[in-house]
Structure 1
Amino acid sequence: MSTAKNPAINAKLLIEADYILGEGIQWNIETQRLYWTDIHGKRFCSAKFDGSDLTVMDLDERLCSFAFDQDGQILAAFESGLFRFDPDTARRHRLSEFEVDKPTTRMNDGRCDRQGRFIVGGMDEVSLRRLSSVMRVESSGTQTLFEEVGCTNSLCFSPDGRTMYFADTSAKDIFAFEYDPASGTLGEKRLFVRLTSNEGGPDGSCVDAEGALWNCQFNGNRVQRILPDGTRDIRINLPVPQVTCCCFGGPDLNRLFITTARENLNIDDASRYPLSGSIFYVDLPVRGLPEDRFNGRVGEIASL
């Protein structure tokens, strides 16, 4: 891919919607469908590559992030903890509770590493105080990786699985951790990139096959491609401010799907940005990577 001129591309509308907080979007190669959650709307959604055959499932609790296993079942991070979740029936079974001693926190962003461990973190909903944590989830149990987190975001992994990206949306920084694929332990942490004042806050991210990170910038109206050396590359402009999460998908894994939100928009902004909460896409001359599956059988886990 040519990166000399840092081109800007305008995203196209895939599904016009009013999701309050669209998030967690991912492409399932097996079902050839796109899946995402509207956290505050308590909705679990899916559609085909072209946005057709849209299904919307109402939920009893806010679903924040999730991972499919090899059986098509879901390890789901609901606001109050981890659950087994059936994407066809919405039946769920609690596996764990999350930070019960911290009433203002809930679960948030999560993604599997290249070996299928689910890495998920939380956030403080009141003022993004650094009260929450990030954990590693395996069939055998959970382990806290680090604490003092205001709002977990941008969790994703380099193609070789040796770098974990992470952002705390309470600040402007995206960090890169050394990551041991064999054990799932973290090594040295370094600053990967610091967003500028007009780029908004770092929200969800994904990594392409060339190792570049695509970061959604909340209140920044964009998705920014950032090369492994921290250099900004392609920018995708959106007609809405609250850009939340993205993933590669489609038959050739070269379509970037993007969720957005309309959370707390005032009347003027809602009128100015009527497509807020919709799903967008852009076709790119670079491929993504398949979404990693959870490496355990969720249906066999009694508790975590």
Structure 2
Amino acid sequence: MTDHGADALMEDVPTSVLSAERCHLGEGPTYDATTDTAWWFDIRERRLFEHRFADGRTVIHELPKMASALARIDDARQLILTEDGLYIRQIAGGRMELFAALEADNALTRSNDARVHPSGTFWLGTMGKRAEKAAGAIYALHRGRITRLYPDITIPNAICFSPAGDIGYFADTATNLLYRVPLDASTGLPAGEPAVLIRHEGTGGIDGAVVDADGLIWNARWGGGCVDVYDPAGRRLRSLQVPARQSSCPAFVGRDFSRLLVTSAWQDMDAAQRAADPEHGKTFLLEASARGRAEPDVRLA
């Protein structure tokens, strides 16, 4: 289905700034419902953000390398996706230990989008640091082993899964194509070939995405300043305005998962473009009235 990106459906929902700290490349938001805490990254500046909703505090953790996504292992540990591999991070103190190398011998690439399948399998993407054509790939961490699923990806994004785990989605932002692939729900691994679900045309590009409890796909539109909501057939139902043009990735947050955290970025914007986009790089909270759901924990074995 072709989505021409028309703005006739654009909605203004109540929106606040969750963090005014500007991200060079804000990405990878996730929400830990057990602690009511949101996490996200500034990939370029090697920073991990931790926002505790209970007291409204945001803590910024400096990282030793570029990282783009994380998954909860248990109450004490997270799995962090970085430019050279997967690391186990101790939440208390932040100590990181290598779990598995990933493209560590390729200095041209870094990590990008990722998300956990309901089975606990972790899908993750890599890309060229300068978005070199077809330099990246999408992998799956399943039972402790990393398998390459899809090579020759330029900018992997929109990795997400249906609530039942029988459908996976992913995109290459460079082509503005969103793919749908049948999965084995018990393993999170492909059970068939990907097919194009959405061809986005017009303003902006397909970026990070998440699926709600009803199977709707919430996709941040990079360069479009919004989050588009699609049904599983690829029909666009809503577009929620985001105050920064380069909206990058959404996550459901809050005890009822009804609100939407959206990251943004000022990457590749010159001084004039940043001045014309005064909220650039900030992180937002949208009162989206979503029917979101919790992120699964990753399974390491």
1:184–1:31 CA distance, 2 compared to 1 (3 A): same
Counterparts of 1:231 and 1:89, CA distance in 2: 45
Counterparts of 1:207 and 1:127, CA distance in 2: 26
1:31–1:50 CA distance, 2 compared to 1 (3 A): closer
Counterparts of 1:51 and 1:255, CA distance in 2: 17
Check whether the contact 2:266–2:281 (CA below 8 A) recurs between aligned residues: yes
SS in 2 for 1:95: strand
Aligned to 2:11: 8
Shift of 1:192: 1.3
Check whether the contact 1:18–1:276 (CA below 8 A) recurs between aligned residues: yes
Check whether the contact 2:85–2:104 (CA below 8 A) recurs between aligned residues: no
Gaps of 5+ in 2: 1-7
Q: Deviations over 1:171-213 (max 9, x none)?
A: 1111111111123321131111111221x11111001111100
**Match for 1:80 among 76, 81, 84?**
84
* Paired residue type of 1:88: A
Check whether the contact 1:151–1:168 (CA below 8 A) recurs between aligned residues: yes
* Paired residue type of 2:194: K
- Length, aligned pairs only: 292
SS in 1 for 2:65: coil
Counterparts of 1:16 and 1:140, CA distance in 2: 37
**Match for 1:54 among 31, 52, 58?**
58
**Match for 2:37 among 33, 36, 39?**
33
**Match for 1:291 among 266, 291, 295?**
295
Q: TM-score if structure 1 supplies the norm length? A: 0.91
Shift of 1:101: 4.7
SS in 1 for 2:295: coil
Counterparts of 1:116 and 1:207, CA distance in 2: 16
How do 1:65-104 residues align onto structure 2 when only pairs under 5 Å count?
A: 65-104=69-108
Counterparts of 1:216 and 1:183, CA distance in 2: 27
SS in 1 for 2:86: strand
* Paired residue type of 1:8: E
Counterparts of 1:20 and 1:105, CA distance in 2: 18
Aligned to 1:301: none
Aligned to 1:253: 257
Counterparts of 1:182 and 1:251, CA distance in 2: 27
Q: TM-score if structure 2 supplies the norm length? A: 0.92
How do 1:15-26 residues align onto structure 2 when only pairs under 5 Å count?
A: 15-26=19-30
Counterparts of 1:55 and 1:100, CA distance in 2: 29
Check whether the contact 2:157–2:208 (CA below 8 A) recurs between aligned residues: yes
Check whether the contact 1:117–1:137 (CA below 8 A) recurs between aligned residues: yes
Gaps of 5+ in 1: 298-304
Stretch of structure 1 that moved more, 12-21 or 38-47: 12-21
Aligned to 1:136: 140
Aligned to 1:300: none
SS in 2 for 1:202: strand
**Match for 1:149 among 153, 173, 181?**
153
Stretch of structure 1 that moved more, 5-14 or 29-38: 5-14
